[in-house]
Amino acid sequence: MLELIQGQRLPLSSITTLNSVEVTFDIQGPLTLDLACFGLDVQGKLSDDRYMVFFNQPESPCQSVRLVNPTTFGLSLAEVPASIDKLVFTAAIDGQGTLRQLGASQFRISDAGIPKAVCAFAGKTFAQERAIILVEFYRKDGAWRLNSVLQGFNEGLEALVHHFGGEVAEDAPAPTPAPPPTGHISLEKKVAAAAPQLVSLAKKAQVSLEKAKLTEVSARVGLILDGSGSMNNQYKQGRVQEVVNRLLPLAVHFDNDGQLDCWAFGDLPQQLSNVNLRNFHDFINTDHGGWRNWELGSRINTEYRVIEQTIEFYRRSKSSTPIYILFISDGGIYDSRRIIKLITDAAKLPIFWQFVGLAGRNYGILEKLDDMTNRVVDNCNFFALDDLHDISEETLYDRLMEEFPGWLKAAKAKGIVA
């Protein structure tokens, strides 16, 4: 495999003979970066906004440039129109920080799934820059060439758009406001305004909400996270942060405040900050000093205490607004009798409990709560996943919304919710 260095230029034919290649960016460190590809004309300008490919526009016309996944672009160079002279790949920091914080990173060029060239870079070559022009493919004498740029840029993504002659939404004249639509504003639009990196999740959540006929429903949303020692790998691997990211679009849809109430528990429960579109980035590693520092007592499961605290929190609100709780656990359930009593008594309250087993076993009573008798309404559901990546995001949303509509109908019939 060819090893490239900063500033190196060479014919793409020296790397691959194929016209279809993939460019993968493996960027390490504590930063959240947004990747983008700018398709520029011979003047070096973004004359056609459709050729800016990023999380909110994942493919160009003719699909000649595609964001295959959050870290990989697929290129069909033979399909790139003649009006596009250069493809420039960039990364911009989303949030706080500078490129100095980058760890040992690299980009790779592959064809047919086989890496052909790699270029390493790290934060030590940068200072206070907040964006980077990584690599560019450009035409010369009728052939594609590559330039390993690795040039820092002082500002963020919007400044890059300006640099290439593009226009961000805020630059355009404000249109005459349209009359507000009936019902809820599109979830996608709500999310895109504040957290465009969640737009893909919002689109998928919207589909599930429409299928479940929940688009006009208002509710509060809460999240309870198992913080016991056996969950450490799920926290380290980012799986728990993914749970936050995936649930937040539902909270934004259901709740006018767009917030997610959040708790963690070990032997003791701790209420965390509310999660919203402004603070969800790396929430698990930053809120209340990060998950390793949460005050949960001994890192064993004592579920009933966090259930008690959650019930009391919502009981104090004295509201009949529906409440959807997602409860994450890897099993090893303690004191089943208390849990049964709490959930049975809570059936009189406007709270629906969605229990999800994550990467564990021995879920005990959590698997049986859905079948309990002697409740005013069936107020809970359970399913288990060995890994959050075992199912698609679309399927996950469908399963999370599977029994909530039925509970809503039954709770309304009993006068539990408005």
Would you say the pTM of this structure is higher than 0.75? Answer: no
Predicted confidence pLDDT, tens digits, the chain (418 residues):
899 999 899 999 999 988 899 999 999 988 888 899 999 999 888 888 889 999 888 999 888 999 998 899 999 999 999 999 999 999 998 888 899 999 999 999 999 889 999 999 999 888 888 889 999 999 998 899 999 999 887 776 777 777 787 655 444 444 434 333 333 456 777 777 678 888 889 889 989 999 999 988 999 999 999 999 999 999 999 999 999 999 999 998 888 778 899 999 999 999 999 999 889 989 999 999 999 999 999 888 899 999 999 999 999 887 889 999 999 999 888 789 999 999 999 999 999 999 999 988 788 889 888 888 889 999 999 999 888 888 889 999 999 999 999 999 999 999 999 8
Same fold? 2-171, 187-413: no
Asked whether the beta carbons of 372 and 353 are under 8 A apart, the reply is: no
Please name the CATH architecture into which domain 187-413 falls: 3-Layer(aba) Sandwich (3.40)
Q: How many CA atoms lie within 13 A of 310 on its CB side?
A: 34
**Domain 2-171, CATH number (from 3.40.190.90, 3.30.428.10, 2.60.60.30, 2.40.160.20):** 2.60.60.30
- Annotated domain spans of the chain: 2-171, 187-413
